[in-house]
Amino acid sequence: MRNVGWRPVLIVAAIAAVVHLAVALRYGWHRDELYYVTSGQHPAFGYIDQPPLTPLLAALAGNLFVLRILAIAAQVGCVLLTAMLAAELGGNRRAQVLAAGCIAACPVFVGASLLFGTTVLDQVVWIAVFLTTARALRIGTVKAWLVPGAIAGVGMENKDTVAVLLAGIGLGLLLYRRDVLRTRGPWLAVGLALLIALPNIVWDFANGWPEFEMAAVLSQRTGGVLGSLIQLVLLAVLIAGPPIVGIWVLGARWLAKGEYRWLLVAAIVTAVVFTLSGGKSYYTAPVLAPLFAAGATRIGSYEKPSKGWPRAIAVSGVVAIFLTLPILPPSVQTHLRAVDPQPVETYGWPEFVDQVAQAEKAMPPDTPIFTSNYGEAGALTMLGGFQNVYSGHNAYGDWGPPPGMSPTVLCVGEFTADHLKRAWGYVGVIKQISLPDGIKNEEIVNHATIYRCEQPRGTWAQLWPELRHLD
């Protein structure tokens, strides 16, 4: 590895870690974290909406503090790896610190580290693949190529989008480093990646490739190609951090003229693929890391670089912290929901559980609880200790309904009465979920309600296909 100025880079990483640690438990669980832990408690080689790595790690962690430590560790990894990538591109110490600062201050990276999940792990995997591929191209040995292959394979056990990264790198090498493709290294790397990802690939094949169905649902929710294109523009200009956009622009121009043009091709390919497939903006976000590293390398090469860049990074970091982390009181944070809904989505689960528990006391013994989404089901199971909770949402649908028929069911969540009447003859409203001080999370915005449902229109097995849904 090229010489890295570890002391200043580690200071940047430490500052990022301290900021995250200070607010890691300020609000509480995110619905996705509840889902990951629950999924990991149903071990499998894959799930309808994701590979198995994140659920496995979440289940092993088991509690919120450890999960957040893992998320922060991934954020620190992104900061350090980007500095190392700048060094690999030939950047001096100043460039490495700037590159590390860009990631530590970039809203899309700061926001992803709010919670433990597939996104923050995907970011660190992508940057590690960029770094180790650049290093393998420089060194040229088969052993060096096996490193990005192994990392990519592990990454595909976390998120299928890594396959798009590999395709982008492959096209970049085909266009600008074709000589490397005549050696064994890159091909062995791809083979190793596929070998590591094979258990999930086999699971996908055996289950009819459910990720394509899930991708279609997510694309529809995003707004298709047009929605993804709008999100891509927002990523490039706003989510990347307006004060530091100029750095990645400089990086793209620098890459276009030098020996690392394959990195720019990889970035363009992933952006195009995810846009045409209706993917979400954060799928493309990791390509900002090599662009920032390249931009920082160019700035670092100036004899007298502008002092405005460190100030821009500091401003971007402050904005990112207040917009994407639970810094503000929940009653204030809720007004920023339109900008970034994730912080306030980590608030309110204990109150939700308490309200359902009060309603459950009036139900007959062993009444099943049926929820509209995995967050509600996870909260009732993990925070409320309920054992009879079911949902038709994503992997919960695969885990199945209760046996037989239940004369009374407590339905909870973002249901409408008309929707529930498809499955039950009687649907009575018990109460609408509420939070204090006008705080709004997804349940409040979508009018989550507690219902008492009776007179089922069939057995659970008969009703289940209608009750299942992807989202």
User: What confidence tier does 46 reach under pLDDT thresholds 50, 70, 90?
Assistant: very high
Pinpoint the alpha helices (H) of 24-92. Answer: 31-40, 53-61, 64-88
Q: What is the pLDDT of residues 137-193, one digit of tens each?
A: 999 999 999 999 999 999 999 999 999 999 999 999 999 999 999 999 999 999 999
Q: What is the pLDDT of residue 302?
A: 86
| CB-based contact 27:330 (threshold 8 Å) | yes
Q: What is the pLDDT of residue 12?
A: 97
User: What confidence tier does 233 reach under pLDDT thresholds 50, 70, 90?
Assistant: confident
Report the distance separating Cα 84 and Cα 13, nearest Å.
12
Mean pLDDT of 328-352: 94
Q: Does the pLDDT value for residue 223 go beyond 90? A: no
Provide, rounded to the nearest whole percent, the portion of the chain with pLDDT above 70. 100
Place of tokens 């982008």: 168
Q: What is the pLDDT of residues 92-105, one digit of tens each?
A: 999 999 999 999 99
User: What confidence tier does 277 reach under pLDDT thresholds 50, 70, 90?
Assistant: confident
Provide, rounded to the nearest whole percent, the portion of the chain with pLDDT above 90. 87
Q: Does the pLDDT value for residue 1 go beyond 70? A: no
Please count the other Cβ atoms lying within 10 Å of the Cβ belonging to residue 258: 15
Amino acid identity, residue 61? A
Pick the closest to residue 308 from 317, 299, 318 (CA basis): 299
Please count the other Cβ atoms lying within 10 Å of the Cβ belonging to residue 133: 29
Mean pLDDT of 26-38: 96
Q: Does the pLDDT value for residue 243 go beyond 80? A: yes
Q: What's the first-to-final CA gap in the chain, in angstroms?
A: 43
DSSP output for 152-200? HHHHHTT-TTHHHHHHHHHHHHHHH-GGGGGSSHHHHHHHHHHHHHHHH
Report the distance separating Cα 151 and Cα 122, nearest Å.
11
Place of tokens 């083979």: 191
Q: What is the pLDDT of residue 360?
A: 95
Q: What is the pLDDT of residue 220?
A: 80
Q: What is the pLDDT of residue 376?
A: 97
Q: What is the pLDDT of residues 82-139, one digit of tens each?
A: 999 999 999 999 999 999 999 999 999 999 999 999 999 999 999 999 999 999 999 9
Q: What is the pLDDT of residue 16?
A: 97
For the chain, the domains span 6-336, 348-467
Higher-pLDDT residue of 217, 22 = 22
DSSP output for 243-285? GGHHHHHHHHHHHHHSTTHHHHHHHHHHHHHHHHTT--HHHHG
Q: What is the pLDDT of residues 249-263, one digit of tens each?
A: 999 999 999 899 999
Out of 13-22, 186-195, 329-338, which region has the weakest mean confidence (pLDDT)? 329-338
Higher-pLDDT residue of 220, 317 = 317
What strands lie across the sheet with 424-432, from one edge to the other?
A: 389-391, 369-371, 408-413, 449-456, 424-432
Type and span of the H or E element at 428: strand 424-432
Report the distance separating Cα 457 and Cα 460, nearest Å.
9
Q: What is the pLDDT of residue 137?
A: 96
| CB-based contact 132:343 (threshold 8 Å) | no
Mean pLDDT (the chain, rounded): 94
Structure tokens at 182: 């005549």
Provide the β-strand partners of residue 77.
none
Q: What is the pLDDT of residue 279?
A: 83
| CB-based contact 347:28 (threshold 8 Å) | yes
Pick the closest to residue 442 from 345, 372, 376 (CA basis): 345
